[in-house]
Amino acid sequence: MAILVCTSLRPSPRARTFCNDLAAASQLFKYFIRGKYNLTYLAAIARAESAERIWIVNSRYGEVKTIECYDVSEGSPSAMASFLMRRVALLREKEGVPQRRPPLRGIRLMPPESKDVEGIHSLLRAALGERTLEEGTRFARTADLHISLGKGGLAEAFFVDSSSGLPAGPTLFIEDYRC
């Protein structure tokens, strides 16, 4: 299973870089340059790529604003989740991260660090799909997805390389979410 990540119809360069960073974080994500395709056509492309989920990244005023998640495993696409972002921190904005490296094997969703982010944790678990690795499983290198409560009450979701402890992908500052 994979997740097809694509942008809105007219993405900003920052939104395209965010999609590239997600694709570099794990082999679970596949970046597709959308063009002017509708959601039904994207679902057909996702099935051809053996993807069960589509994440559409929308930007506003150059900044990533929403991520809409759709399930395409059965017939027509159905909305699963929508995340409203305050901002994102791209991989190139972080210090100590090697620019060139192969993508990590899988994503391990770590347990939430506080009770305040349990809703986001369960929604991210559904948006990532069933192939998300459990906490106890170990591969040589995985991207651990941590969710914590940050400054100002925003939930922070960030990827960490399991072998080196370095950042492995973008950081999402989630302001709100809905099912």
Write out pLDDT tens, residues 91-111: 888 776 666 666 667 888 888
Token pair recorded at residue 27: 């082999």
The strand ranges marked E within the chain are 2-7, 29-31, 51-60, 63-71, 78-89, 107-109, 143-149, 155-161, 167-178
CATH H-level, domain 2-178: superfamily: Brix domain (3.40.50.10480)
Is the dihedral angle over the CA atoms 94, 99, 101, 104 positive or is it negative? Answer: positive
CA-to-CA distance for 118 and 138, rounded, in angstroms? 23
CA-to-CA distance for 34 and 164, rounded, in angstroms? 33
How far are the Cα atoms of 29, 39, 43, 125 from residue 34, in angstroms, in the given order?
A: 15, 10, 12, 25
Per-domain boundaries in the chain = 2-178
**Secondary structure class of 166 (helix, strand, coil):** coil
Percent of the chain with pLDDT over 90: 9
pLDDT band at 82 (very low <50, low <70, confident <90, very high): very high
Write out pLDDT tens, residues 116-165: 888 888 888 888 876 655 555 555 678 888 999 888 888 899 888 887 88
pLDDT at residue 125, as a whole number:
87
pLDDT at residue 84, as a whole number:
93
- Please choose, from the candidates 157, 152, 86, 89, the residue with its C-alpha nearest in 3D space to the C-alpha of residue 119: 157
Token pair recorded at residue 134: 């459990």
